[in-house]
Structure 1
Amino acid sequence: MSPQLELADIQGNVLSAYGRLGFPKGRFLLLNIADADAGRNVIELLRRRVTTALRWPSDRKPYPAGTIYQKRPEVTLNLAFTFRGLLALDVPIRTLRGMPDEFIDGMAARADILCDNFPKAIGKSWDPVWLDEKDPQRRVHVLVTLNTDMDPATGAPSERLDEVTREIAGLCSATKGGVALLSGHRGDNPDWQDLSAILARQEDGTFTPLPVEHFGFVDAIGDPLFDGQVPPDLVAERVIGQGKLLPDQSWAPIATGEFLLGYPDESQEIAGAAMPLDFSRNGTFYAYRKLHQNVAGWRRYLASQADAFAAVMDIPHDHAVPTLMAKFAGRWSDGVPLMVAPTFEEWQAVRRRRETAERTGDKATIAALDRALVDFTFRGDPTGATCPFSSHLRRANTRDMLDPLFGATDPKRWGGSILNNRRRILRRGLPYGRGPQGEDDSGEHGIVMLACCASLFRQFEFVQQQWMQYGLDFGSGNDTCPIIGNHGKEAKFVIATDPASGKPPFICDSLPQFIETRGGDYFFVPSMTALRMIASGTIDPT
């Protein structure tokens, strides 16, 4: 039986990606605490405004009678803390020593583990705001995340976002140095990191947010679903392709403890936690990642490979770039998986089906096409001829590919996705900046990702290091992820073909660097109960 989550005790950006709920604009602020009393006073004032996981009223699909709602906020507000931040707020050492080692270390100290000192050392590539750990008054202690709606006429965030920002800055200023708003972000304003969904201008001149990132892919389609995350009546609809694959090939929600502390995880254990238990329960961890995208370099490289790829694969030249993109990602640019539409022609057929269904109001077909975005496995592609072994999709969510009996022909011997279930992460965040129109990638454009999980080491760090930076688990030797991996001078990406076709595999060689980290850290996202403890200074670890 699914757990009944205490929604009013869980911060809202854990269970929901605000961008999907009509909040396409964001702003992230970082605070430093020089005085514990002043810091606790500021946290208490902000705590009262924190957006919890309680549902908002929905016009599209009303919740069952008796559901407790919260008013839809104009601006969401959520809080998270580094280890040094909790220490600065006088959280007891006996509590802090229960925190995991990787959180205590912080992201910068683990840059080599994460392969972040590439192509340049973080001291030369990260935003200055993340690099002043030696100065106690410049250390990152608190992350304040704000999300809001936008004005369709201008594409600008709601005016309320600036008002809330000024209020937070005012709270910090009133402490006379006790709490400081840290500066040093690259971008239009060094005092914070602005975020925005990519916008499309409509024929009437208004703007609409798009669920895409700067490389051109629809993003965050396959986020995992965990037990208790959505109301019971939505589980059957959402779990397909987003939960865990069982040996009988059905889908079930992933264990709650993989994402929320204080609940059983996939090993049927409740992970060790900081004491008292109420301090950890309903909390989680974030890996904050500012990822710069070399968009011009991405476009340039694909164009440079198009002629040879079209000739080797015997496809029209205008099919080459979108097909290469799909092979790199494992999905076509609109999210349709290669496992569903292996060729350009099949992809276009799927697109035409959707266009017709949307024009005629065929909800059943639309629902089936939406389900196909996530309802697939890799067992039907044992050679990687449809979806390359080393594509980003197969690395980020291996589904059934790492089943020790992946090649077994008897379904009774299949093991589902057991090895994959303990490596899943929730992705939160938004793009930042505007993509370059020319060949200059030196501007500010990329994604700020918050990777949410109960174990930074077992989930986020494992995927980042083992699956993105090495290819052994995928039969790809030392090849890294072709999109977000580190690409040295000899980096390559192999696109396999069906041996029966007589075509040789295509090798994309000399891959340039498409993604570079520009900053980040590890944050603890406390429950509302823990926030009250932190703000009041009354934490009893005994």
Structure 2
Amino acid sequence: MAVTLDLAEIQGTVLRNRPMPYYGAYLLFRVDDAASAREGVKRLLPHVTSAKDWEAPADQAWINIVFTAEGLRRIGVPSEIVDGFPIPFVQGMAARRVFLGDVGDADPANWDWPHGGNGFHLGLFLMGQSEEARAAKLALGHEAMRGLPGLRLLAHLDVGIPPTMREHFGYVDGLSRPFIEGEGGEPLPGQDVTKAGEFILGYENELGHIATGPGPEIFWRNGTFLSIRKIRQNVAAFRRFLRENAQTPEGEEFIAAKMMGRWRSGCPLALSPDRDDPSIVADPLRRNDFKYAQDDPDGHRTPVGCHIRRINPRDALDGTISDARTHRLLRRGAAYGPVLPEGAMEEDGEDRGIVLALINADPARQFEFVQSQWINDGDFVGEGSRADPIVGRRDLADDYAYPAKPVRKRLKGLPDFTVVRGGEHVFVPSISSLQWMAGLSGGIGNSP
């Protein structure tokens, strides 16, 4: 039976690709008065972009609204309903730090981006196809919150994908995503079709169950969760590591490709293992059309421990106890901070990195599993305690190895190329859910 998604109800960022390039911003608010928060939501509702009008918004800019668990309580959602949501969302990401590997410098005590534990309750995600479009949406967001003393702006972070399409380490970003059943159109070659319930509440998931939430159906249906990570990138350390482990610029590019699983152009090693071929990236029918189980089971082309093979093992785990289809994530990444000048081998004191917004209907089974078991532990692919060579933790192992001739290549002493600087699980309500919440009573600063 064909699945029909209610696109007019689902907030646009859940299903639709962001424009490339784009200019975006995160605005994070503290809620000290429920009536103020509800009034702010009412004012914003006519401007919230759904998946139905995402492709052709009137002003070529988009706005979406999210809540932390405490934010839902503060706007008036009863605690007994909020507490029925998944444990990671209810507890908040900072409370999950040991399981997620957020230790040492990445400990939440060092985070500089507000999270649920220190006051972030309501967030606005804005974006446009130009800086002018972003500025217009920012003005709209600020105007909607004007005169509401119970809402306080905690953070404003500009993000986006630059015209080069590359993040700070130099890799082209945003090339692969699952195809969601019922989203419309047809999947591209290599794009696996995933049950809608893996990403949206109210639909069947890969376990054969309907993904549901607590409380009245109008509150949770067509909603989902974003697992947000603010990750600072040490670009100079990455460049120095490549330089120290290669003899030529071509050798640096090869090592960078072996760590990621794609050349920095985005060309997959699976399709061009010995040299970069940007023409493959330019062809949407080719750039993701590959598998691992039959063509590259031992990782001679795409190393089993590289970044893209950890994040999405494709068919490599078929026949094992781990079903990769139940751990899929819909990834949205955006860079922040200025680009480190070309050739610079020392940091310049500027904060730069990436904000990941990972869409999943079950944060424990999806984001937290991938982060703890696939990114920070290599046991599932026979790599022991070796973590992801790009974004993994280094306190358990700091080396990376991949097949090469005449002998296996082993890179030692990987530094922390990245460090987590913020994170939270947030709920992305449907349009009807936002209307329902705007009509609630009670909450913080209100009489029950």
TM-score range with shorter-chain normalisation?
over 0.9
- What is the RMSD computed on CA atoms of the aligned residues? 2.2
TM-score by length of 1: 0.77
Tell me if structure 2 keeps the 8 A contact 1:278–1:530.
yes
Specify the alignment match of 1:179 in structure 2: 151
Aligned residues: 438
Structure 2: distance between partners of 1:180 and 1:84: 15
SS at match of 1:196: strand
Q: Percent identity?
A: 33
Cα 1:381–1:304 change in 2 (3 A) is: same
Greater Rg over alpha carbons, structure: 1
Q: SS state of the match for residue 265, structure 2?
A: coil
Question: Which amino acid letter does the alignment assign opposite residue 159 of structure 2?
Answer: L
- Which amino acid letter does the alignment assign opposite residue 436 of structure 2? M
- The yes-or-no answer on 1:324 pairing with 2:255 is yes
- 1:393 maps to 308
- Partner in structure 2 of residue 63 of structure 1: none
Q: What pairs with 1:512-523 in structure 2 (closer than 5 Å)?
A: 512-523=415-426
Give SS of 2:327's match: coil
Of 450, 461, 464, 2:371 maps to 464
Aligned to 2:158: 194
Query: Equivalent residue for 2:16?
Result: 16
Q: Please list every run of at least 4 consecutive aligned residues from structure 1 whose deviation after the TM superposition is greater than 4 angstroms.
A: none
Q: Which amino acid aligns with 1:505?
A: R
TM-score by length of 2: 0.92
- Residues of 1 paired with 2:70 and 2:105: CA distance? 28
User: 1:428 offset after TM fit, Å?
Assistant: 1.6
* CA shift in 2, pair 1:37/1:264, >3 Å: same
Q: Residue 168 of structure 1: SS of its match in structure 2?
A: helix
- Quote the Cα distance in structure 2 between the aligned partners of 1:441 and 1:117: 25
- Cα 1:120–1:8 shift into 2, 3 Å: closer
Distance 1:221 1:128, change over 3 A: closer
Aligned to 2:62: 76
Residue in 1 that maps onto 2:198: 258
Structure 1 partner of 2:96: 110
Letter in 2 for 1:448: V
In structure 2, the residue matched to 1:169 is 142
Give the drift of 1:403.
1.4
Match of 2:50 in 1: 52
Shift of residue 161, structure 1, vs aligned partner: 3.2
Q: What is the CA-CA distance between 1:163 and the residue it aligns to?
A: 4.3
Q: Taking CA–CA contacts closer than 8 Å with sequence separation of 6 or more, which of the two structures ends up with the larger relative contact order?
A: 2
Deviation at 1:381, TM superposition (A): 1.5
* Candidates 402, 414, 434, aligned match of 1:511: 414
User: Could you list the per-position Cα deviations for residues 496-521 of structure 1 after superposition, in whole angstroms to 9, with x for gaps in the alignment?
Assistant: 13xxx5x1111100001111111121
1:420 aligns with 2:324: yes
Question: Aligned partners of 1:218 and 1:327: how far apart in 2?
Answer: 15
Q: Which residue of 1 aligns with 2:291?
A: 377
Contact 2:226-2:359 within 8 A present in 1 as well: yes
Q: Residue in 1 aligned with 2:271?
A: 340
In structure 2, what is the Cα distance between the partners aligned to 1:260 and 1:490?
36
Q: CA deviation at 1:168?
A: 3.1
- Report the AA paired with residue 300 of structure 1: R
Unaligned runs of 5+ in 2: 443-448
The 3-state SS of whatever aligns with 2:284 is: helix
Q: State the Cα distance separating 1:131 from its structure 2 match.
A: 7.9
> How far apart are residue 481 of structure 1 and its match?
0.4
One-letter amino acid matched to 1:450? A
Between the aligned partners of 1:489 and 1:461, the Cα distance in structure 2 is: 18
Instruction: Identify if the C-alpha distance between structure 1 residues 354 and 41 changes in structure 2 by more than 3 Å, giving closer, same or farther.
Output: closer
Q: Give the match's secondary structure for 2:43.
A: helix
The amino acid that maps onto 1:510 is G
Matches for 1:485-496 after TM superposition, within 5 Å: 485-488=392-395, 490-496=397-403
- Whether contact under 8 Å (2:222, 2:430) holds in the other structure is yes
Is the counterpart of residue 141 in structure 1 residue 56 in structure 2? no
Instruction: Pick closer, same or farther for the CA change 1:161–1:272 going to 2, 3 Å.
Output: closer
Distance 2:433 2:302 in 1: 44
